[in-house]
Amino acid sequence: MRQSPPPIAYLLPNLFTAASVFTGFYTIALALEGSFASAAWFIFLALVFDGLDGRVARMTNTASHFGVEFDSLADIVAFGVAPALLLYLYAGESYGRIGIVVSALFIIFGAVRLARFNVTTSRIEPSVFIGLPIPTAAIMISIAILLLEQYPEFVALKVFVLPLAVVLSILMVSNIRYPSFKKMNFKTFHFMRFLVGLIVVALGVFIYPIEGMAILAAGYLLYGPSRASFYLLRRLIYRG
């Protein structure tokens, strides 16, 4: 008979979730101080905590309905409010009400994305997300800011951060499918090819961390619309 974990074991995954909330708040504090690059990096740290809480819960058999709800609320803080405020203070404040609307749109659509995920998790097809995951959208905002901070000579491109946020917001509430690496079956992969590819990617990110992560994130972002366009085009050709 499988032994139930001790009650104190349920604290561990929730501590990681709480760490994600704290990291999101600290991101806001750094953004208010004008430390935009540091704030962007802390969104990455929130992503680490967000990935650990679910995995720890599954490993310790301490998954609970409370944990799921807590994680969802943590996500709206760490990947909704924090990046939206960072976006507003970094690029949106100069554009008045337009900056406010775009930043608010990111939070609102992010909340819609999370709510839809919570009510449809049991019905979506395996190994995919419906709509761009909110952590990915937050990471894209962070990477855009990090790139502009890394290359100040391109500061004029700051104006494109707001349109990027609008695109990300729309993708979050779209029906475009994105792969879920949490559900991938690595047993079906060719181990050697996967290992070689992983090593090459890791070395590239080590040499050029911001640029490497930007390429990976952009590839994931474009995968969804590219896949949807391919199937739409194929459907139109077959009908024709």
Q: What is the pLDDT of residue 142?
A: 96
Report the distance separating Cα 184 and Cα 162, nearest Å. Answer: 33
Task: State the pLDDT at residue 155.
Answer: 84
Comparing CA positions, the residue from 26, 14, 133, 131 lying closest to residue 85 is 26
What is this structure's pTM? 0.87
pLDDT recorded at residue 1: 46
Q: What is the pLDDT of residue 64?
A: 77
Per-residue pLDDT of the chain (240 residues; tens, 9 = 90+): 456 666 666 778 888 899 999 999 999 999 999 999 999 999 999 999 998 887 877 777 777 788 888 888 999 999 999 999 999 999 999 999 999 999 999 999 999 999 988 887 654 445 688 899 999 999 999 999 999 999 988 888 888 999 999 999 999 999 999 987 665 555 555 667 767 777 888 888 888 888 889 999 999 999 989 988 888 888 888 776
Three-class DSSP labels, the chain: CCCCCCHHHHHHHHHHHHHHHHHHHHHHHHHHCCCHHHHHHHHHHHHHHHHHHHHHHHHCCCCCHHHHHHHHHHHHHHHHHHHHHHHHHHHHHHHCHHHHHHHHHHHHHHHHHHHHHHHHCCCCCCCEEECCCHHHHHHHHHHHHHHHHHCHHHHHHHHHHHHHHHHHHHHHCCCCEEECCCCCCHHHCCHHHHHHHHHHHHHHHHHCHHHHHHHHHHHHHHHHHHHHHHHHHHHHHHHC
